[in-house]
Amino acid sequence: MYYQHPPWGFGLIAAIILIIPFYRICRRVGWNPWLGILAGIPLVNLIFWYFLAFSDWPIQKSSAAPVGTAGGPP
């Protein structure tokens, strides 16, 4: 008699492994951290990577100095 795992078991574990880093990244850039749940949805997670890479982050908008500047006069 062979024991068969449910087919969704591996997918669930993989989704959880992806959700945790997405949760932390969203929290650090100033978005709602629960957007990390999008990482568990196939194809939506790829779209979310592009959104994350090319959109303006709320944390950048709230900072006084532009990113990449030393903050002092030359």
Q: Could you write out the three-class secondary structure of 19-45?
A: HHHHHHHHHHHCCCHHHHHHHHCCCHH
**Closest of 31, 73, 74, 67 to residue 52, by C-alpha:** 31
Share above pLDDT 70 across residues of the chain, in percent, rounded to a whole number:
77
Q: Binning pLDDT at 50, 70 and 90, where does residue 8 land?
A: confident
Q: Which pLDDT value is given to residue 18? A: 85
- Amino acid letter at 58? P
**29-70 pLDDT tens trace:** 888 888 888 888 889 888 988 988 898 888 877 765 555 555
The conformation of residue 57, written as its DSSP 8-state character, comes to: P
> How is the chain split into domains, by residue range?
7-37
**14-35 pLDDT tens trace:** 778 888 889 998 898 888 888 8
